[in-house]
Amino acid sequence: MQEFITDERMFKAGMLRIVMKMRKERDTTFDGCFSAVTKELRLEPDQFLSYVTSHMPEMMASVKTQGKRIYWEM
């Protein structure tokens, strides 16, 4: 049985990884990045998806912001 991580700090780290992957690999999809990060960080998929969708506007704005510093609140 796999143990999933449900810590909000790890969800923020997961969102940052998704942003970095989507910036680096322009032809990749959100679903592909989400799945890879969820497996890589062992995040609980349903809770992480809920967290990401509630912060989707900020995350997509970060993906589009190329060459500017992005500060994440923790």
Q: Which residue has the higher pLDDT, 16 or 60?
A: 16
- The model's pTM is 0.80
Average pLDDT, the chain: 86
Which residue ranges make up each domain of the chain?
A: 8-64
Whole-angstrom distance, CA of residue 48 vs CA of residue 24: 22
Confidence of residue 1 (pLDDT cuts 50, 70, 90): low
Burial 26-37 (b: 16+ CB within 10 A, else e): eeeeeeebbeeb
The residue among 46 and 23 whose pLDDT is bigger is 46
Lowest mean pLDDT among 9-18, 38-47, 63-72: 63-72
**pLDDT surpasses 80 at 67:** no
